Amino acid sequence: MERSFQEEIRLLRLGAGETFHGEGILAVTKALLQAGVSYVGGYQGAPVSHLLDVMVQARETMDELGVHVEACSNEASAAAMLGASIMYPVRGAVTWKSIVGTNVASDALSNLASAGVTGGALIVVGEDYGDGASVIQERTHAFAMKSALWLLDPRPDLPTIVHSVEQAFDLSEASNTPVILELRIRACHVKGTFVASANRAPRFGTRERMTDPAPFDYGRLAHPPATYAQEKRKYELRLPAARRFIVERRLNELRDGDLDALGIIVQGGLFNTLIRALQAFGLADTFGASRIPMLVLNVTYPLVPAQIAAFCHGRQSVLVVEEGQPDFIEQEIAATLRRHGETAALHGKDLLPMAGEYTAEVLLEGLVRWLEADQPLLDLSAGRALLHSMQDLRTRAKTLLGGALPARPPGFCVGCPERPVFAALKLVQRELGPMHVSADIGCHSFATFEPFSFGHSILGYGMSLASGAGVRSFQQRRPLAIMGDGGFWHNGLLSGVSSTLLNRGDGVLLIMKNGYTSATGTQEVVSTPDPAARRLAEAGSSTGTEVTIEKTLRGLGVRWLRTVHNYRVGRVRDVLREAFTTPFAGLKVIIAEGECQLERQRRLRPLRTQALREGRRVVRTRYGVDDETCTGDHSCIRLSGCPTLTVGPSRDPLKRDPVATVIDGCVGCGLCGEVAQAAALCPSFWRADVIVHPNRRDRLLAALRNAVIDRLARA
């Protein structure tokens, strides 16, 4: 895995009365065990990856409790796991990145919501929304409303998050409905403490098994005509039961203040940011006490109309702080106030942005506009001064820098095995002309940035080949689809490869085989070689028993299949050229194989350190540029894009342009030299093997080389 979670695993064993200190997402992991969960599944994705990573590594703890943990192949298989709670009194939890993960899981979730559950069912989603998000700008709220799944958005405070997890299972069982717990990035990574409770072994699990399955009940199947009755129960029985539970357990928090004419209704996940903005006006303290009364919605769906009306009763003005669009919560509150005859002025998206993340600065601007209009006697000078100072600082920074800061898009890691493939693709484009490239989710999506700029669409994880199906019908040149091995096993095999074979499509599929689902933290996939198989592969042999992408494709009927080592740029270029020019009319698959460089370094560094400690011979390869040979045209930089290959001053006074140079951080992958050779660039790159603890042969060769060089230098 990406990292070891030994300390986090230790925290999972804390008993009653002990203090847990850590991140919000890890508090959720502990809360699941305290709630007596029977099974946990999911698919990794920021910002909730650590939840499943920790549980997978904590196998011993899970086995002791009788909890089944499963790293699923995609979000749909994770959501389908919750089917265990439909007929059985067992609690289950699954996790993934929203909204893209929820979209993948939507079929299973819709049917699950219709049938309802007996045991508690919890879906923990990472709500990656806002300017810094890595996915499309959508919200889980719409899906919760559509399928009648209850949605919790807890205040970013560890005791509140843990309490919400435990209450979510009770809410699910009280209303026979699955519950979604959404956690923003800040909630996942907020640090804090809470007093732990003892872990609860599930009533039924891997240690206590049922003797017989549940009796057949057609009414519990999400299948007509049972679905008609289920839809009726959703809104006549389950929804009222959920609202009663929310009120009785006080899941939403009512916070009093002395400015009774005003009120704020805020999503729980935005509470900390709102308090920070109110502090600028002196209207709140650091402990969360506010002079303006608040209704903190730790449950954002369903809302409780009577609770909303009671909070707004007698107030002059109410501000709804709801991040994102459409304004679902504000619209429902407006309808509730109208039905109850409440006259409070309602504000929200008229003062706050419709889209984008609600940072403290954004809320500060909205609060100024609201308070100026509805409470003009308040002293707002401190808040205005802070806003002006922030704007002034931004203006002065631009002046000092001579303009805005340059964009810093993400890019491949140093030594990434995918970079040489795209360098080879640029060489092929020079020969054959541009081609349509269907990009995909994953590390390879960084090729959409400069210096490569490859990609005409990104439509879903593993869906690149499928997204080029229509393009094939009207393009003269064969389209190229790119996906990783993670995307291949997630969705690409079925939605892309099998569909293309069914329709006899003529296209090129390039699979980046780095051995892991790297973009989410280098989690293993079904084709990840175990350590023994990896050692055999590095030694040039293989047992032939491991699951491979090649075997799967051949078994499915792929006839044109090539495997190539990523770092051999010339060979990759030749295989790509062959795929685009071959007369074979059918799916052509190229598997570009090279282990994720991050994972490779994590694997090799401890071995290298141990060897150095024991005084054994260690060889480290470094590359550099001969600045006397370098012509300074920088073609090598434009083709490779490696961040350790940059420009530097030349020692030659006759060379006015800077020359290429390799800086510290180089991992010795050799891409720079491979690109220079494949593209027939100037031969300015050199390679050196740095040997620590050399043996007698190394010393003899070094002495011989030095003697020859010295003699040639004197001549």
pLDDT for 309 equals 97
Average pLDDT, the chain: 90
Residues 531 and 522: beta-carbon distance below 8 Å: no
Residues 458 and 441: beta-carbon distance below 8 Å: yes
Residues 577 and 599: beta-carbon distance below 8 Å: no
Tell me the HSE value of 705 on the side-chain side, using a 13 A CA sphere.
6
Count other Cβ atoms within 10 Å, centred on residue 544.
9
Per-residue pLDDT of 138-148, as tens digits, reads: 999 999 999 99
pLDDT level of residue 519 (50, 70, 90 thresholds): confident
How buried is residue 89: exposed, middle or buried, by Cβ count under 10 Å (0-12/13-18/19+)? middle
Q: Apex CA 202: angle with CA 6 and CA 125, to 5°?
A: 60
pLDDT-wise least confident of 497-501, 541-545, 560-564, 681-685: 541-545
Angstrom distance (rounded) from CA 212 to CA 295: 47
DSSP 80: H
- Which of 560, 556, 451 has the alpha carbon at shortest distance from 501? 556
Residues 684 and 626: beta-carbon distance below 8 Å: yes
Fold of 419-599: Rossmann fold (3.40.50)
pLDDT level of residue 44 (50, 70, 90 thresholds): confident
Q: Apex CA 98: angle with CA 96 and CA 101, to 5°?
A: 60
pLDDT for 64 equals 94
Cis? peptide before 683, omega within 30° of 0:
no
Tell whether the model's pLDDT for residue 20 goes beyond 70: yes
Angstrom distance (rounded) from CA 414 to CA 673: 15
Structure tokens belonging to residue 173: 């069982």
Domain boundaries 253-401, CATH class: alpha beta
Fold of 6-205+218-248: Rossmann fold (3.40.50)
- Which of 667, 528, 529 has the alpha carbon at shortest distance from 598? 667
Cis? peptide before 99, omega within 30° of 0:
yes
pLDDT-wise least confident of 245-254, 315-324, 543-552: 543-552
Count other Cβ atoms within 10 Å, centred on residue 659.
22
Place of tokens 């609201």: 370
Tell whether the model's pLDDT for residue 478 goes beyond 70: yes
Structure tokens belonging to residue 297: 């919605």
pLDDT for 2 equals 46
Question: Do the first three CATH levels of 253-401 and 419-599 match, i.e. the same topology?
Answer: yes
Residues 109 and 178: beta-carbon distance below 8 Å: yes
- Which of 662, 511, 677, 684 has the alpha carbon at shortest distance from 594? 511
Residues 83 and 108: beta-carbon distance below 8 Å: yes
Q: Beta strands 68-71 and 39-42: pairing type?
A: parallel
pLDDT-wise least confident of 64-73, 239-248, 295-304: 64-73
Counting every residue written for the chain, the total comes to 715
Angstrom distance (rounded) from CA 134 to CA 98: 11
The contacts of residue 75 (CB under 8 Å, 6+ apart) are 42, 43, 96, 101, 102, 104, 105
- Which of 681, 683, 134 has the alpha carbon at shortest distance from 423? 681
pLDDT level of residue 369 (50, 70, 90 thresholds): very high
Across the range 192-204, mean pLDDT stands at 95
Q: Is 651 helix (H, G, I), strand (E, B) or coil?
A: coil
- Which of 37, 30, 107 has the alpha carbon at shortest distance from 67? 37
Angstrom distance (rounded) from CA 72 to CA 371: 49
Angstrom distance (rounded) from CA 654 to CA 661: 18
Q: Is 402 helix (H, G, I), strand (E, B) or coil?
A: coil
Residues 53 and 28: beta-carbon distance below 8 Å: no
Residues 90 and 229: beta-carbon distance below 8 Å: no
pLDDT level of residue 267 (50, 70, 90 thresholds): very high
Place of tokens 């508090």: 27
pLDDT level of residue 132 (50, 70, 90 thresholds): confident
pLDDT for 384 equals 86
Structure tokens belonging to residue 16: 């009653």
Structure tokens belonging to residue 237: 């029985």
Residues 92 and 122: beta-carbon distance below 8 Å: yes
Across the range 656-673, mean pLDDT stands at 85
pLDDT for 543 equals 45
Provide the β-strand partners of residue 92: 39, 121
Residues 319 and 370: beta-carbon distance below 8 Å: yes
pLDDT for 535 equals 52
pLDDT for 120 equals 96
Structure tokens belonging to residue 227: 């679905």
pLDDT for 4 equals 63
Q: Apex CA 96: angle with CA 45 and CA 330, to 5°?
A: 110
Cis? peptide before 202, omega within 30° of 0:
no
DSSP-assigned letters across all residues of 172-197: HHHHT--EEEEEEHHHHH-EEEEE--
pLDDT for 681 equals 82
Angstrom distance (rounded) from CA 461 to CA 490: 7
Angstrom distance (rounded) from CA 129 to CA 132: 7
Per-residue pLDDT of 442-464, as tens digits, reads: 899 999 998 899 999 999 899 99
**Domains of the chain, residue spans:** 6-205+218-248, 253-401, 419-599, 617-714
Angstrom distance (rounded) from CA 286 to CA 290: 9
Angstrom distance (rounded) from CA 266 to CA 392: 29
Could you tell me which CATH number the domain at 617-714 has?
3.30.70.20
Angstrom distance (rounded) from CA 204 to CA 621: 55
Across the range 178-188, mean pLDDT stands at 94
- Where would I find the beta strands (DSSP E) of 388-442? 437-438
Angstrom distance (rounded) from CA 185 to CA 13: 25
pLDDT for 238 equals 97
